[in-house]
Structure formats: structure tokens, C-alpha cells
Amino acid sequence: MKYILVTGGVISGIGKGIIASSIGTILKSCGLRVTAIKIDPYINIDAGTFSPYEHGEVFVLNDGGEVDLDLGNYERFLDISLYKDNNITTGKIYQHVINKERHGDYLGKTVQVVPHITDAVQEWVMNQAKVPVDDDRKEPQIYPTSLFQLGGTIGDIEGMPFVEAFRQFQFKAKRDNFCNIHVSLVPQPNATGEQKTKPTQNSVRALRGLGLSPDLIVCRSAKPIEMAVKEKISMFCHVEPEQVIFIHDVSSTYRVPILLEEQGIIKYFKQRLNLPIDDQPSDLLMKWKKMADRYERLLKVCSIALVGKYTKLSDCYASVFKALEHSALAINHKLDLMYIDSIDLERSTEVENPVKYHQAWQKLCKADGILVPGGFGIRGTEGKLQAISWARTKKKPFLGVCLGMQLAVVEFARNCLNWKDANSTEFDPDTKNPVVIDMPEHNPGDMGGTMRLGKRRTVFKTQNSVLRKLYGNEMFVEERHRHRYEVNPELICSFEEKGLKFVGHDMEGNRMEIIELENHPYFVGVQFHPEFSSRPMKPSPPYLGLLLAATGTLSAYLQRGCKLSPR
């Protein structure tokens, strides 16, 4: 087993997750099996109770784990399926150790950070590294793990136990099996225009002071870094020049594995970790290169309006953005994603800030398609309902995900069934027409980990379904869920009589999973989150359908048997 540790310095949010994912992609392209573990030093047990503004979206795994969005990067880049134990937090580790102490496993010893917490980290990492994550379920050989996403920098007090754990672990694993990659920032102040190496020097010094020496230093920068800067970092950070890798800002993250490969990272890993691989990249990396080249040559544009409540930070909808981007790339279009705060579409905004109100509606009106993603809470729901009504009446392609589907049902009930007070019991527990209700078994009082989570099967009720055709005419699909409310199954007949068809449900036939509106180019809602399963070379069918409808090519695509036209 080989181990690669990715640490970060200077600032958080520097791109450690993308670097780790890209390194994994390169190693996978060399024929190795790769898994990934993310270590977060916060005390939360998992990411499930975070506001999206804290750490971006909550990514959901097949087993129902609510984890950091970096695990989404790992899955998309490596095309693997991870587990909740692939996301380690301080909370999980301390809970594990405290439970062992209560059970009497430490036989009267004083339980301390060293050795008990650090040993627990090492044990967890070694055990989880052996868990198969590929479709054929074979044990992986090497894994990248990204340490310190929260705070994200060496020297954070909350991350110290993990650094100490890996300081010990490097000797346990032996030199040929352990490698440390340190990701740092090379800033370029506007005042001088000079690329500064001092932050990286200080960061590496701090890392060494804690007992870890970087084997590779990956320098992030806005612009390509000059050779003189590389030599300076090499000299002051005590590494060879070829151990300093530069990754500047690029047009798409698909380009990052290519930049790493061009700087000789395959050859370095082959020597440093004694890997049985060729120096040359395989077909998989060539596919990535072609995909990155094609992305940069796209000329036609498709605009999608994302109507949500967390629009100030793009990471809040990271998987949604990626799923749309994968689909746009598949049909040779550049994605123009317009974020619209749903509150800006509401009448109250027209009174308080008419300029913002009209700008939001202008964006919505000129979009080729409309997407309402998942979310929680009543804030902004009236604006989402307005956007859904616009999409339905103006025949604009529409996709509603999770809450987006539930609100599409509410909007249809109010405006087509004339149930004016129709609502979700999440927002109005006393409504006379509860078209969306809570699931009692998933609402026990505690917030964390109590929703209907993870991969569940959805069965198609009819052959005459656009989404079924997009999924390749399968009898059922398995997608990931994260919700506590569902469409009221007792009211289904009233909707179907008016043309809103529930074409997919769960195995028991009680929970409604997919809606489609008759006589509309593309009006689809799904209770699940298909964005979590989208991959760069395997776009998610509901998102692909939205992009095809938005570009006016859905009918032709379905007539061709769901095959894309030759590029």
C-alpha cells in the first residue's frame, strides 16, 4: 500500500482538493487503483448540519454519508464511489476514542491525544485505504488524501493531532510507501507585480518544524510562475527544482491533471514510491487532454438560470454546476450559468429594491433553461415559485431538484388545481392542502443524519417518459437522496388528471420520485439529487435533458436513440 498526504499552507481554499483529485487521476491513468480520504479538523461529526455558506455544499454518498464537497471532486475525477468513513473529522475520531474508553478498551490507562487520538487516526486511515471504491470492488493500491480543508493551513491548532499522527505514520509506512505533497500560494501583489516566495518558505518551515518534509511543493498562482521563482523556492525549501510544481489559474479544472503530467509528476512518483508504472500517460489521460482542449474551443453558449437561496458563494452549488458543465460539454456548448437569488424575484424586493428585482427578472427571462435546486427553509420559496410558474407558462425548459420538484408540485396545485393555499408542511404546518408532507420516520427531532439519505431505487411507472428514455429505457434508476419531506401520495390523482404525471416512484410505490408535465418541451422534477452521480465523461441524464431542451436538440437526441451527434 502506498500513501500520499496532501497538506496546505498560506491560505485555505487554495485548491488542495483539485490537486489531490488530479494526482489521483494521473495515478489511475497509469493503471493503479486509487481511493481518497478527506480529513477535516472541525468537531462536527459530519457536514450534514452545516450552512452551505460555511464550507460549500454538503455532498451525499451512496451510503448516505453527508460529507465535505472535496469528496465530490474525488468521485468526479476518479470515477469512484466513496463511503462516509472516507471523510474523517475531529468529531468522529474523538467520538470513536471516547466510546472505546467507555467500553473499557484502554484498561485503565489515561486517554490522551498522544498516543490514543493519533493512533486512532492512523488506524482509521489504514483500514479505510483498503476498502474497494471501484465498480469491480478490488482493493486499491494507492490513495491521495487531503488534510486540513477547514482552516486549510499547516499550523492551525485544531489540525495538530492529525499532523502528529502523520508524522508518526511516515515511519510506520516506510519511506518508499509515504509521500507528502504541500500545496502553497505564490502571491503576486499588484503594487510590484513580483511573484513572492516568502509565504511558501514560511509554510514549508512550519511543516518541517512539525516533523513532515514535503516531497513535492505545488505552488498555486494567478499567472504562470517564472523559472527564477522555481529555483528560489527549490533553494530555500531544500528540494530539487523538479520537486517544485506550478499550477496557475486555468480555464477549467480539467486542465490541472495535464499541467501536473507535463511537469514530470509520473516520472517522480515512479522513482519516489517505486511504482510499477510507465513514464508515459495512458489513454485515460489523453481523453482528459482532449476534453480540456475541447472545453477551451467551445463557441456556442447555453445559458441556464439557477434560482436558489445560496447564490453568493458558487461552492454552495458545486455539484449542480459540475453536472451542468458536464452536460454542456457533452453537447459541445459552453455553459453560461446565471445565479439568481430567489428573494430578488419576490414582490417584496420590487418594493424595497426595484433595480435588483428587474435585473433578476431580466436574467430569468433571457435564460435558455431554468433550474431550481435543493434547499431547506421558507426563505426565498415564493421567488422560486415565481420562477417555476414562468417556466411552466412560457414553455421554458425546467428542472427541479429535491425542493425544486416539491415547489413545482406546490405551484401546479395553486395555479392549475386552484388550491390557493396549497403548501408544504415544512413552510405551513396548518395548510388545508398539504401537497408536500414530512416523513415521520425521518423527522425524529435530531437534525444530523436523520433524513432519507443515500442511494435509493426509483422505478419508472410508464414507458412514455422523457427521463426514462434519457436513462436508456431502464426499468429503474438508483440515485442519491437527501430530504425530509415528500409529495403527498394521497393527492396524486388530482395532479395527473390535469397533466402533471408522476412517472417514477420508490420500490413500494408510495414515494413520488419523478414528475413530468405533458405538452411542455421539458418540465421535469426529481426528488433525488442526480448531480452527485454526474461525471465529466458520463453526464447526469436529467441535467443532460435540460441542456438538450435548452438548446432545442432534445427531440432530435431522443429520435436518434439517445445518441449524441458526432463531434
Residues with active-site annotation:
402, 529, 531
φ/ψ (deg, to 5) at 512: -80, 130
3-state SS record for 158-197: HHHHHHHHHHHHHHHHCHHHEEEEEEEECCCCCCCCCCCC
Q: What are the Cα distances from residue 545, in Å, to 294, 361, 521, 541, 564? A: 21, 24, 10, 6, 12
Q: Is 73 exposed, middle or buried (0-12, 13-18, 19+ CB in 10 A)?
A: buried
Phi-psi region of 334 (alpha: psi -120 to 50; beta: other; left: phi over 0): beta
Q: How open is the CA angle 289-290-292, to the nearest 5 degrees? A: 65
**Terminal Cα distance for the chain, rounded:** 41
Residue partners of 200: CB distance under 8 A and separation at least 6: 9, 10, 184, 185, 186, 217, 219, 233, 237
Dihedral angle sign, alpha carbons of residues 489, 491, 494, 499: negative
> What is the four-CA torsion angle of 559, 564, 566, 567, rounded to 10 degrees?
140
Sequence letter at residue 81: S
Residue 551 CA, distance from chain mean position = 25
The alpha-carbon radius of gyration of the chain (Å, integer) is 25
The alpha helices in 367-507, defined as continuous H runs, are 381-393, 403-415, 466-470, 492-497
Compute the distance between CA of residue 460 and CA of residue 475 in angstroms, rounded to an integer. Answer: 6
Which secondary-structure segment (H or E) carries 221?
strand 216-221
Cell numbers standing for residue 535: 461525471
DSSP label at 491? G
Cell numbers standing for residue 229: 521563482
Q: Hunting for cell 441542456 — which residue is that?
A: 547
Query: Cβ distance 53 to 40 under 8 Å?
Result: no
Cell numbers standing for residue 462: 410508464
Beta bridge partners of 517: 500
Residue partners of 250: CB distance under 8 A and separation at least 6: 256, 259
My answer on whether omega of the bond before 241 falls inside 30° of 0, hence cis, is: no
Residue-wise DSSP of 296-316: HH---EEEEEEEES-TT-GGG
Query: Cβ distance 70 to 319 under 8 Å?
Result: no
Query: Cβ distance 325 to 331 under 8 Å?
Result: no
The neighbour count for residue 223, using CB atoms within 10 Å, is 12
Cell numbers standing for residue 431: 395548510
